Amino acid sequence: MVGNLGLLGEFEREAIRHRLFFTPLVEITDACNARCAFCYRRESSPVKKTEIPLDVIKRLVRELKKVGAFHVKLTGGEPLCHPDYIEIVKAVREQNLSVRTVSNGILFTKDVIAKVKKHYISTVISLNAIRNDTYASVMGIDGRFLNTAMDNVKRIKDAGLDVAVNFVLNRYNIDEAPEFIEYWENHDIPVLVARVSPSVDGQNSELLATDKQLYQYYHSVDRERIVKHTYDDPNKCLRCNAGYNMGVLAANGDVLACTILRLKIGNFYKDSLSDIWYRNEEILRYRNMVSDPQAESPCFSCDVNPDFSYPLVQG
C-alpha cells in the first residue's frame, strides 16, 4: 500500500522536494478532545478555545492564494472541535484550494462525513495504537474511543474520500506498530509513521522511543517498505521545508515557520500574509537557518520528520 495520498500526494511530494508552492497548516482551533502526552500542542485543552473565526479564515484563504498556496491542511488542536469546521472546508474549497484535515477521527461522524464528502477532502487520522489500553495511555482518553475513530476511518474510506492513518512512534506504542501497519494495510488504507518530535520545552522527552526499540521496529517491518528519515537518506526523502513552502497559521494569529520550534514570524491579525511571508526579516532569517549548514541553527540537529504527513512506510 502506497503510503501517501494518491495523485495529490505524489504531486505534493515533488512540489515539496523542490520547495514549490505553499502548503500551510492552519491550526483552526486550540481546543482538543484528547490529551496526547507526546503532543507538541500539549497546551491544547478541552476548555481552552482559542479559534480562528470563520470570517477571518475566509480572509486568510484569499491571502493564502495570493502567496501561492494550492493546498491547505486543517489541523489544531482538534480541527473538528471548531464549531464551523464544515463551513471552513467549504470556504477553502471555494477558493479552489485542496483541503486535508488532520484529525484524531473521533468526531468524524456519519453526518460530518456526509457533509464533507462533496468537497473531496483528504484526511489523515491520528490513531497511534491498535489496542484500547495503549490508546488510552497514549491519547489520555478512554480507550474505547479508538473503536469510534477506527470505525470512522473505515466510513471515510467507504464514502470515497482519501484517508490515511497516522502512528506516532513512542516508547509505549512502538511494540504494536507492526501489528498496526499490518491491520491497516489489510484494509487497504495507507499508514503514515513518524517518530515523536521532541517538544521545545522537553516535556515529552520521556516518551521518545529508545534506540533499541527503534532498531527492533525497523528490523521487524519489511525493510523495502521503510523510507528512511530525511537525514538518514537525503536521496529518498524530503528536505525540511519549514519557512519555504510550509508554514503554520496558529489559532492565536501567530504565523510560524516550524510546527515544532514554533518560532514566531509574525501575526496575521497585525500584518497581511504576503508582508509576513515575503518581506518579514524573521522569515528570511529562518530560511537561512534551515538552509545554511554554516549557520548556528537548531535545524541541523533537528530530529523532526520534516512533515508529519509524509510516510516512513511506503510500498
Q: For residue 157, with 0-12 CB atoms within 10 Å meaning exposed, 13-18 middle and 19 or more buried, which class applies?
A: middle
15 or 164, CB closer to ligand SF4? 164
Q: Does residue 45 come out as left (phi exceeding 0), alpha (psi in the -120 to 50 range) or beta? A: beta
Contact residues toward ligand SF4 (CB under 6 A) are 32, 34-36, 39, 41, 44, 76-78, 104, 126
59 or 131, CB closer to ligand SF4? 131
Bridge-based pairing of strands 71-76 and 25-29 is parallel
Contact 127, 151 (CB under 8 A): no
- The least distance separating ligand SAM from the CB of residue 167, rounded to whole angstroms, comes to 8
- The least distance separating ligand SF4 from the CB of residue 166, rounded to whole angstroms, comes to 9
Q: Among 22, 38, 85, 135, which residue interacts with ligand SAM (rule: CB under 6 A)?
A: 38
- The least distance separating ligand SAM from the CB of residue 125, rounded to whole angstroms, comes to 7
Q: Nearest-CB residue to ligand SAM?
A: 126
Q: Does 41 bind ligand SAM (CB under 6 A)?
A: yes
- The least distance separating ligand SF4 from the CB of residue 293, rounded to whole angstroms, comes to 31
101 or 241, CB closer to ligand SF4? 101
112 or 168, CB closer to ligand SAM? 168
Q: Does 166 bind ligand SAM (CB under 6 A)?
A: yes
Rg over alpha carbons for the chain, rounded to the nearest Å, is: 18
Quick note: the x/- pattern for ligand SAM over 264-293, rule CB under 6 A, is: ------------------------------
- The least distance separating ligand SF4 from the CB of residue 104, rounded to whole angstroms, comes to 4
Q: Does 126 bind ligand SAM (CB under 6 A)?
A: yes
Q: What CA–CA distance (Å, rounded) separates 166 from 280?
A: 34
132 or 288, CB closer to ligand SAM? 132
Instruction: Please identify, among the stretches 38-46, 64-72, 243-251, 295-303, the one whose residues bind ligand SAM according to the rule CB under 6 A.
Output: 38-46
- The least distance separating ligand SAM from the CB of residue 106, rounded to whole angstroms, comes to 9
Q: Does 39 bind ligand SAM (CB under 6 A)?
A: yes
Q: Does 52 bind ligand SAM (CB under 6 A)?
A: no
25 or 265, CB closer to ligand SAM? 25
Cell of 133: 489500553
Instruction: Please identify, among the stretches 61-69, 91-99, 101-109, 222-230, the one whose residues bind ligand SAM according to the rule CB under 6 A.
Output: 101-109
- The least distance separating ligand SF4 from the CB of residue 271, rounded to whole angstroms, comes to 27
3-state secondary structure the chain: CCCCCHHHHHHHHHHHHCCCCECCEEEEECCCCCCCCCCCCCCCCCCCCCECCHHHHHHHHHHHHHCCECEEEEEECCHHHCCCHHHHHHHHHHCCCEEEEEECCCCCCHHHHHHHHCCCCEEEEECCCCCHHHHHHHHCCCCCHHHHHHHHHHHHHHCCCEEEEEEEECCCCHHHHHHHHHHHHHCCCCEEEEECCCCCCCCCHHHCCCHHHHHHHHHHCCHHHECCCCCCCCCCCCCCCECCCECEECCCCEEECCCCCCCEEEECCCCCHHHHHHHCHHHHHHHHHHHCCCCCCHHHHCCCCCCCCCCCECC
Residues of this chain that interact with ligand SAM (CB under 6 A) are: 32, 38-41, 75-76, 78, 102-104, 126, 166, 168, 194, 196-197, 199, 204, 308
